[in-house]
Amino acid sequence: MNESRRNFLKVAGASAVGAAWGIPVVSALAKAIKSTPLPANLSGKRWAMIVDINKCKRPEVRRACADACRSLHNIPDIERPHREIEWIWSDGFENAFPNQSNEHTRADLRESDVLVMCNHCDRPPCVRVCPTQATFRRADGIIMMDEHRCIGCRYCIAACPYGARSFNWEDPAPHIKQLNPDYPHRTRGVVEKCTLCAERLAEGLEPACVEAANRLAGPGAMIFGDLGDPNSAVSQALRVKTTIRRKPSLGTSPSVFYVV
Amino acid sequence: MLEKAFTGSRRYWIWIFCLLALIGAGGIAYLVQLQDGLSVTGMNRDVSWGLYIAQFTFMVGVAASAVMVVLPYYLHDFKAFGKVTILGEFLAIPSVVCCALFIFVDMGQPQRVLNVLLHPTPHSMMFWDMMALGGYLFLNVIISMVTFGAERKGIAPPKWIRPVIILSIPWAVSIHTVTAFLYSGLEGRSFWMTAILAPRFLASAFASGPSLLILLCLLVRRISKFDPGKEVIQKIAVIVTYAMAINVFFVAMELFTGIYSDIPEHMNHFQYMFFGLHGHHALVPWMWAAQLLALGVLIALLFPRARRNEKVLAFLAAGVILSIWIDKGLGLVVAGFIPSPLEHVTEYAPTAIEGLVTLGVYGIGILILTGLYKIAISVREGLQAH
């Protein structure tokens, strides 16, 4: 190889590496300057949910919620322990609220199981860490997933303080009991989670879990609505009921409230 | 220059083929993983990062440690290190390659990895880690090519390379800092949310990386006519001693803050690591072994007489690497996930497939290292002969 061609290749190689490094950095910085901080006020719509722990105390109520979600969203039933996919499920009160219970807490509360799911945080850690913006916050507060963009790095799972995200360790298709043709199922190697039934909201319907809970346990077992609207059912209920949120000290500001 | 890696003794080729066999085995294991998904690993809902990300973290440290021979030579004009800067840089290059590969094999959708560049996200530390590591690889390739090329021709390296070398020093610090930020910025993971994580990463890197360099120097002297020199090895041993002392001190800081403050969220993780939690104690023997080994090795290193004996030094260097590998390559990542955000204890143990893929990645790293060191040694032997 003669000297000038060698030099040309060197310069070309260096330029290519420089461009591969420089363009993403410059465009990322440009985006950082352009992007506006999350709105702190509640103007506009912000969906929220209230779970009444006492009204959802019966296991069949909670199971109905999870089942409604499962069949609607083609969530696989994976038998292998600790590889499950969960959008909404039951866990102990002490597990869901580790800093908010002690040995003197009302026994019926302390020993009960509660529904847990994605909290659709106002300041979501998962969105902050995702390297591809595959998970993002919609203007109405829903934390969404683009499973086609997700690279499966699971950084969002490490970041979520609520354990609300599931990774498809294997192909979910063979584990879906009955396929709902109106909703896509996911592929192996991506993260998924509760979408607050965005597809139902678009049709003017409440989330499936809310519908199931209220059908079985009576109205008010779960309340859904817009926090931005002072007259919505959630806003009204929050004014009169004592509610708590999960891990409030972290500053994530969840959209899911619990009536104790 | 590259052609030097393609000529060698019978022994050299046997070694190369052993590495290729290892890489082949790892490659087959990776194909199994690609076929069946990450379900073939031991990772799970609660411990969602395992051996791969832990090895990545450890290798970022080894990559960054090249700065420990580059800095004294270029900033303090410590001439003796002129002989080993190239060995440090040639160790950094395969280390960064290993880092990239460990991230790659950990992805659920590896074919989409370029989405990170397609949708650059400044608020994600993973984006900056990719940028920092890519830049560091580029810097080390350029610096080693230019300086070593000049040395081979017996001329002084061009002037413009000096600022590039100076830039590589803070850059080395940055790669491990950003890697620590991957962990320490997560409000939901109290075990990692400690400001000392980045300093601790750097201290353990500057102890383990130079220890590996000592072992490589001893090996190079044994199998070739190129001798990095006793003085150089002793100086690196002093660097290892300081770094290890700081590392052990930082670990003690971490333990004090975590245990004395007695906040359950912080204590739980230490409890799991050192005593077990809710009847689960897979990490306990490892963590005690790592801490006791670190302490024992540090005490021995503090005695100059022990350090000066190269046979003893080799053992101490291996001890440093092993203790930090357990601490960083096993404990740090896994214990951050146990207990889970919902206070459940799910344990993690890597599977055989995971182990093979890991060995395969290390095989690729060692293959590149072998080729680069072969070049360095051949050129140096040629220069010595003249």
pLDDT tens, residue by residue, B30-55: 999 999 999 999 999 999 999 999 99
DSSP type of residue B45: S
Give B180-237 as a DSSP string: HHHHHT-TT-TTT--TTHHHHHHHHHHHHHHHHHHHHHHHHHHHSS----HHHHHHHH
Quick one: pLDDT band at residue A32, thresholds 50, 70, 90? low
The residues with which A191 forms a beta bridge, in sequence order, are A167
| Strand A113-117, strand A135-137: pairing | unpaired
Same-domain pairing of B377 and B336: no
Give dist(CA A195, CA A186) in Å, integer. Answer: 13
Across the interface, of A29, A130, A161, the residue whose CB is closest to B341 is A161
Residue B163 lies in a domain: yes
Same-domain pairing of B316 and B355: no
Q: Among B332, B328, B324, which Cα is nearest to B273's?
A: B332
Question: Which domain, by its residues, includes B90?
Answer: 1-184+351-381
The residues with which A137 forms a beta bridge, in sequence order, are A143
Residue B218 lies in a domain: no
At A34 the pLDDT is: 57
At B6 the pLDDT is: 82
Query: Is any Cβ of chain B less than 8 angstroms from the Cβ of A63?
Result: no
Q: What are the CA-CA distances from residue A53 to residues A61, A116, A117, B347 (Å)?
A: 11, 11, 14, 30
Q: Which residues in A lie closer than 8 A to residue B52 (C-beta atoms)?
A: none
> pLDDT (tens digit, 9 = 90+) per residue, A98-145?
989 899 999 999 999 999 999 999 999 999 999 999 999 999 999 999
Q: What is the CA radius of gyration of chain A?
A: 22
Cis amide bond preceding B120, omega within 30: no
Residue B252 lies in a domain: yes
- Indicate the range of A19-28, A85-94, B240-249 predicted with least confidence: A19-28
CB-based contact A252:A124 (threshold 8 Å): yes
Are B39 and A83 an interchain contact pair (Cβ–Cβ within 8 Å)?
A: yes
Give dist(CA B333, CA B101) in Å, integer. Answer: 18
Same-domain pairing of B261 and B363: no
Across the interface, of A81, A98, A252, the residue whose CB is closest to B343 is A98
Quick one: pLDDT band at residue A42, thresholds 50, 70, 90? very low
Q: Which residues in A lie closer than 8 A to residue B182 (C-beta atoms)?
A: 155
What number is the ipTM of this complex? 0.93
At B362 the pLDDT is: 98
Residue B273 lies in a domain: yes
The count of structural domains within chain B is 2
Same-domain pairing of B156 and B288: no
3-class SS of residue B319: helix
**Which fold does the domain A47-259 belong to in CATH?**
Alpha-Beta Plaits (3.30.70)
CB-based contact B45:A160 (threshold 8 Å): no
**Ramachandran angles phi, psi of A117, nearest 5°:** -165, -175
Same-domain pairing of B192 and B174: no
Q: Which of B35, B38, B141, B189 to mutate to test the interface with A (most CBs of A within 10 A)?
A: B38
In the predicted model, what is the mean pLDDT of residues A211-232? 94
Min Cα distance B217 → chain A (Å) is 31
Residue B323 lies in a domain: yes
Q: Which residues in B lie closer than 8 A to residue A168 (C-beta atoms)?
A: 37, 108
3-class SS of residue A49: strand
Give A65-117 as a DSSP string: HHHHHHHHTT-----STT----SEEEEEHHHHSTTS--TTS-HHHHT-EEEEE
Residue B337 lies in a domain: yes
Based on the number of CB atoms within 10 Å of its own CB, is B17 exposed (0-12), middle (13-18) or buried (19 or more)?
A: exposed
Query: Residue ranges of the domains in chain A?
Result: 47-259
Give dist(CA A253, CA A222) in Å, integer. Answer: 19
> pLDDT (tens digit, 9 = 90+) per residue, A203-219?
889 999 999 999 999 99
What percent of chain A has pLDDT above 90? 78
Note the maximum CA span of chain B.
Answer: 68
Same-domain pairing of B342 and B362: no
Query: For residue A73, how many other CB atoms are within 10 A of its CB?
Result: 22
Same-domain pairing of B377 and B304: no
**Ramachandran angles phi, psi of B192, nearest 5°:** -90, -15
Task: pLDDT tens for chain B, 386 residues: list them.
Answer: 777 888 888 999 999 999 999 999 999 999 999 999 999 999 999 999 999 999 999 999 999 999 999 999 999 999 999 889 999 999 999 999 999 999 999 999 999 999 999 999 999 999 999 999 999 999 999 999 999 999 989 899 999 999 999 999 999 999 999 999 999 999 999 999 999 999 999 999 999 999 999 999 999 999 998 899 999 999 999 999 999 999 999 999 999 999 999 999 899 999 999 999 999 999 999 999 999 999 999 999 999 999 999 999 999 999 999 999 999 988 999 999 999 999 999 999 999 999 999 999 999 999 999 999 999 999 988 887 76
Give dist(CA A151, CA A195) in Å, integer. Answer: 19
Are A167 and B264 an interchain contact pair (Cβ–Cβ within 8 Å)?
A: no
Query: How close are the terminal C-alpha atoms of chain B, in Å?
Result: 18
Tokens representing A108?
Answer: 């019926």
Across the interface, of B49, B131, B183, the residue whose CB is closest to A154 is B49
At A2 the pLDDT is: 61
Same-domain pairing of B289 and B373: no
Same-domain pairing of B43 and B131: yes
Residue B358 lies in a domain: yes
Report residue B48 CA to chain centroid gap: 21
Q: Which of A129, A146, A160 to mutate to test the interface with B (most CBs of B within 10 A)?
A: A129
Q: Is 50 exceeded by the pLDDT of residue A37?
A: no
At A27 the pLDDT is: 74
Q: Is 60 exceeded by the pLDDT of residue A43?
A: no
At A39 the pLDDT is: 43
Across the interface, of A84, A91, A130, the residue whose CB is closest to B124 is A130
Give dist(CA B55, CA A255) in Å, integer. Answer: 37
Residue B228 lies in a domain: no
Same-domain pairing of B21 and B154: yes
At A40 the pLDDT is: 41
At A12 the pLDDT is: 81
